[in-house]
Amino acid sequence: SSFSRRRDARPRSTRRHTCAMAMGRTARRRTCLASAASTAKSKKRSTKKAKEVPAPGLYQQTVKRSITRQGVGLHSGTSAVVRVRPAPAGQGRYFVRVPAGTIVDWPEDPYGFLDRGEDVLEEMGVEPEAFVQDMALEMDKVAHQKMTREEVEQMVREAEANGFADDVEDMYEQWEVEGDEDGEENESESIVPIDEESEPVLRANLDAVVEKPRLATTLGTGLGALSTVEHLLSALEACGVDNARIEFEGGPEVPLLDGSAKFWVKAIEEAGMQVAKTNQGKMVRRLTLQPDQYLCLKEGDAFIALYPDTTTRITCGVDFVAKAPVIGNQWHSWAPAQGLSYLEEVGLARTFCCKDDIQPMLDAGLIRGGMEGTALVADGDRWYNEHEVRYPSSEAARHKILDLIGDLSLLAEGGHAGLPHGHIVAFKTGHDMHIRFARMLREYCQGQSATGELEMVPADYKRKD
């Protein structure tokens, strides 16, 4: 080992506690905040303006400020960082792989733990290499802020001084409630112009899906490929982020996070939304496809169909009665026109699998980044991690809607909507059927036009009757 043997001047117990605290792994958690801090938090909550729930608008939209998230890919098991930035109207959503360090200037040992000696890590019961990687993942909430070691240590001191010593996340929550006192919340970030000649641009559309999707949807090929894009795209489509420059560095997958779209939606809420304008300063009406006939794709007893309508509704069903009775037969439906929250109805639902499928997937080189906190695991007539379940009778069906929205978002072109008008019903489907159905739908809509061009209608998702 090449670790330094320099010793920290503080007592060993203090060093160990600080390490554990910074990683969010204390042995005990406070049952409540100090009364003064709690009072201050409540006061801030009552005066802070509520965040507007993001949703599609009459005109194309984009985010006000960048969104950054860091985590591990489900199948690759490698760390990646994704940053969603504002983009002008008409550009749509596109990915750009950027050089390492472009998004996150994150030092290898930001807390200086390794400098304190290998014995400190041994006391914590972790391997040095695993510790550094795990630490980065646990602290992804501050990674994108490019904090220096001094700033991090200052954060820890402030946490101790404000009564949050047992849980740094309490301090994150306090900061979130306090918000920005100087009004920066209303400022919009400048837009980075697209340059397809000098940077590899990967459009989030059907033409970019070149591999047969299996357990995740992949865009592009080779070193420029990006997999497991469906949860991020689902959140962007449902929240009305029609135009976005999405930068990624690190691994070949979008981070799984908690297996749902929760953290993407929350990040969009914090960033804020704005009407996107073209480079000439014009707003663009948001449009979508509206097939005028029934369409259906079948495969055995699985199917996905669209019933013509002037608004959008998605209904999904799953059947695990024989394989996992705890899931059984589930159905769920979501319609934006009804005003039901995407986050509460769909976005919180986690990805899931059956316990018997885990080892075969590992043997196939898959789910190397899978952890208990990132997916629900069905074990016969019970959930292996029942405490993680959010919707006992419908979470699997809700998550299928989440996936389907992400895959159908690839129908989007030029900053318009990806979800078409119509009632889409899917049963026992996966990513491959979603993509094939989307291509069928696009082909039909092209044939529906006399010119072969896609004819679109205003996508306001509001019934007129």
Amino acid at 303: F
Q: How confident is the model at residue 157 (pLDDT cuts 50, 70, 90)?
A: low
Nearest Cα residue to 139 out of 185, 171, 181: 171
Q: Identify any residues that bridge with 81 across adjacent strands, giving them in sequence order.
A: 70, 249
**316 and 404 in contact (C-beta within 8 Å)?**
yes
Tokens for 126, please give them. Answer: 């972790």
**256 and 228 in contact (C-beta within 8 Å)?**
yes
Q: Is the pLDDT of residue 429 over 90?
A: yes
Tokens for 186, please give them. Answer: 């209303």
Residue 186 CA: distances (Å) to CA of 17, 54, 272: 39, 15, 8
Q: Identify any residues that bridge with 460 across adjacent strands, giving them in sequence order.
A: none
Where does 89-181 show beta strands of DSSP type E? Answer: 93-97
pLDDT, position 303: 98
- State the residue for tokens 């007592």: 11
Contacts of residue 115, defined as CB under 8 A and 6 or more positions apart, other chains included, come to: 4, 6, 109
Strand order in the sheet with 67-72: 67-72, 79-86, 244-250, 93-97, 201-203
Tokens for 336, please give them. Answer: 């934006």
In the chain, pLDDT over 90 holds for what percent of residues? 51
Amino acid at 425: V
Q: What is the mean pLDDT of residues 239-263?
A: 93
Span 320-347, pLDDT tens digits: 999 999 999 999 999 988 888 999 999 9
pLDDT, position 102: 85
Q: What is the distance between the alpha carbons of residues 397 and 91, in angstroms, rounded to a whole number?
A: 32
pLDDT, position 145: 43
pLDDT, position 15: 38
- Is beta strand 422-427 parallel, antiparallel or unpaired with respect to 312-320? parallel
Q: Spell 287-296 as b/e; 16+ CB within 10 A means b.
A: bbbbbeeebe
Q: What is the mean pLDDT of residues 169-174?
A: 46
Q: Is the pLDDT of residue 375 over 80?
A: yes
Contacts of residue 256, defined as CB under 8 A and 6 or more positions apart, other chains included, come to: 71, 72, 73, 74, 228, 231, 351, 369, 370, 374, 375
